[in-house]
Amino acid sequence: MVRLVFLDLDKTLIGDDYDPSPALPIIERLQSIGFKIVFNSSKTLAEQEFYANELQIAPIMVVENGGGIFVPEDDPVSQFVNEREGKYRVLKLGLDYSLIRQEIDPIADEFCLKYYGNSSVEEVVRFTELPIHLARLAAMRHFSETIFSYCSTGFIEILRDRGLTVMKGSRFITVTGRTDKGKAARTVIELHKRLDEVFSVAIGDGENDVPMFDVVDLAIAVGGLDYKKAVAAADVVTAVDFIETNFKRR
């Protein structure tokens, strides 16, 4: 049996100060009870690599709200993924960033949209409160755009009519192709089912985590998110307490 845990990053594993160090004991506890870590976040590959390095792990990374799945070459499921990109095998589920920009750019002025593509690094720092080195990594986008601010919400309907997925995350609005964290999580689960039975858990705090809650065996909603299929936990530490209590190997 493979045990998978899908972790949201923003406001779940990583707090408002973007400091990776509080996540270290969380990762260690999950690994000690046999869970394989999978990042499932709206963050970019470059940002997720930063956190993976800081935490000294090499997880499968679902990037940009389900836009793509990056599998390290030495992961057992990489054999089922053909496309190579650098040191990863990659499954592209979403739309290329350039195609998303083709839909957003023409309506940016009308709705006063600010997003990575029309913001300087200094503006990104102001909107996100990211430290500048992380802001640069966040701007390296493959499959999604993030709307920081707007003067009215009519753009959401327009982008959805164009076939794009528009989701509220814990901080901002993310625009992707027809994909989400749930489709990506289901794909990761299916890859592992080719090797073994799977037990899957997901931990998240935002509306964009709901699709992944729907495809796992156990969903844990943190930070006050209310969803009927999810167990509620105050924060990720409490979520891991719950997992330890119920799923420690005997």
Among residues 40, 44, 144, 170, the one that binds Mg ion under rule CB under 5 A:
170
Of 2, 8, 4, 15, nearest to 210 by C-alpha is 8
85 or 129: CB nearest Mg ion:
129
65 or 170: CB nearest Mg ion:
170
205 binding Mg ion? (CB under 5 A) = yes
For residue 219, what are the CA distances in angstroms to 5, 16, 104, 138, 205?
10, 22, 33, 27, 11
Q: Report, in Å, the least distance between residue 196 CB and Mg ion.
A: 29
Among residues 59, 94, 206, 211, the one that binds Mg ion under rule CB under 5 A:
206
Sorted by sequence, the CB contacts under 8 Å of residue 233 that are 6+ apart come out as: 203, 220, 221, 222, 239, 241, 242
User: What is the C-alpha to C-alpha distance for residues 159 and 88, in angstroms, rounded to an integer?
Assistant: 31
Query: Which residue bears the tokens 């992961």?
Result: 75
Q: Which residues are catalytic?
A: 8
51 or 111: CB nearest Mg ion:
51
Point out which span in 4-12, 56-64, 175-183, 217-225 binds Mg ion (CB under 5 A): 4-12
Q: Where are the alpha helices (DSSP H) in the chain?
A: 23-32, 45-54, 97-104, 121-128, 132-138, 154-161, 181-193, 210-213, 236-247
54 or 110: CB nearest Mg ion:
54
Point out which span in 55-63, 80-88, 100-108, 206-214 binds Mg ion (CB under 5 A): 206-214
Of 185, 243, 241, nearest to 38 by C-alpha is 185
Chain residue at closest Cβ approach to Mg ion = 170
Identity (one letter) of the amino acid at 81?
A: V
65 binding Mg ion? (CB under 5 A) = no
Q: Tell me which residues in 8-37 interact with Mg ion (CB under 5 A).
A: 8, 10-11
8 or 75: CB nearest Mg ion:
8
Q: Report, in Å, the least distance between residue 222 CB and Mg ion.
A: 9
Q: Tell me which residues in 101-130 interact with Mg ion (CB under 5 A).
A: none
Which residues sit at the interface with Mg ion, rule CB under 5 A? 8, 10-11, 170, 205-206
